[in-house]
Amino acid sequence: MKLLVSLRALNPYRSYSSAAAILEKQNKLFSNELARVRNDVGRIEKIEVVYEGRPEKKKLFLNKNLSTPYNVAQHIAEWLTQQSALAQVDDTYLWDMHRPLDGSCRLKLLTVTDPDPHHVNKAFWKSCSFFLGAVITKAFSENVKVTLHSFPSPQISSGSFLYDAHMSLDEWTPTQNELRVLSAEMVKLSHQALPLERLPVSVELAKEIFSDNPFKSKQIPDIAENSVDGKIILYRIGDHIDISKGPLVGDTSFLGRCSITAVHKIESDDGPLFRFQGVALPKDS
C-alpha cells in the first residue's frame, strides 16, 4: 500500500477526517490574533535604527512595532533581503527577520557566510525541524492520520535534524523511494520561499489553536511556565502553524540541499512515535 500522497495522483493536502477543517480553524485564529496585535499598535511612533554592516553603516527612521529587520534590509540592498537569515539587536538579542522592532536600536543582519555563523546555524537547524513538521503533516495519504508531537534539539555534530510524530500505523519502515519523496517535498517547500511569521499568544489561545493535538495541548502549560512572559511563541509558514521558541530563519528558501535519511519507531512517555531524521545544508549565498 502506498502511504505517501506524492506517490499517487492526489491533491497534496492530506484529507484525513477533519484535517482541512482543523487547518482552517488554526489559521483563522492565528490571522485574527495577528490582525488584533497590529491594530493595537495605535498611533505610529518613529524609532531610530542604526544598521551596522555591509555595505555601510546607515541610520534609518522606521515605525515602532511595525517595521522589521527585513524592512531594514530592503532599505539597504536587495542582496541583503535574500541573504539575511537573522538579525541581532544591540549586540545582544537575536531577532527574527519578520519580527517587528519594539524600540530604537543598533541592528546587524546575520548570514550563513559570516565568519562566525553560530547563531544562524542554530536557527537554521531549528527551522529545518519546523519545515519537516510541515512536510510530514501533508505528505501522507488520507488513510494515515499524522499528529505532530515535538522536535528534539538538532544533532549539530552530525548535521541532522529531527521531528517526532504519532501516526495511525502499527509499523512502517519507509522505502528508499518514500524517503526520496519526503526529501523532494522539503525541496519544494524551500523553492516556495515562504516567510516565517512569528506570533506570541496567550496559553488560552494556544490551547484553542492546538485543541485537536493532545501532545501540543499537554506541552503548552510547561512551555508557558518556562517562558519569560508566560506567552507561547507560534510560527507560521503557508498554512502550517507550530510552536517554537525560535528564533528561526527568515524564510524557507534558506534550506539548501536536504535529504530525509531515516524514520524510526521510538517509545516515549506519550506512547509510540515515529522519529523522522534528515540532513541539510543552508542555501548557497
pLDDT single digits (tens) 223-268:
999 998 999 999 999 999 999 999 999 999 999 999 999 999 999 9
Q: What is the mean pLDDT of residues 109-131?
A: 95
Residue 11 — very low, low, confident or very high, per pLDDT cuts 50/70/90? very low
Query: Residue 4: its pLDDT value, please?
Result: 66
Architecture of domain 5-35+119-282: 2-Layer Sandwich (3.30)
Query: Residue 5: its pLDDT value, please?
Result: 58
Cell, residue 15:
484529507
Q: What is the mean pLDDT of residues 27-50?
A: 96
Domains 5-35+119-282 and 46-111 share a fold: no
pLDDT single digits (tens) 200-219:
999 999 999 999 999 999 99
Q: What is the mean pLDDT of residues 102-120?
A: 95
Query: Residue 6: its pLDDT value, please?
Result: 55
CATH of 46-111, one of 3.30.70.1140, 3.10.20.30, 2.60.40.420, 3.20.20.70: 3.10.20.30
**Spans of all domains in the chain:** 5-35+119-282, 46-111
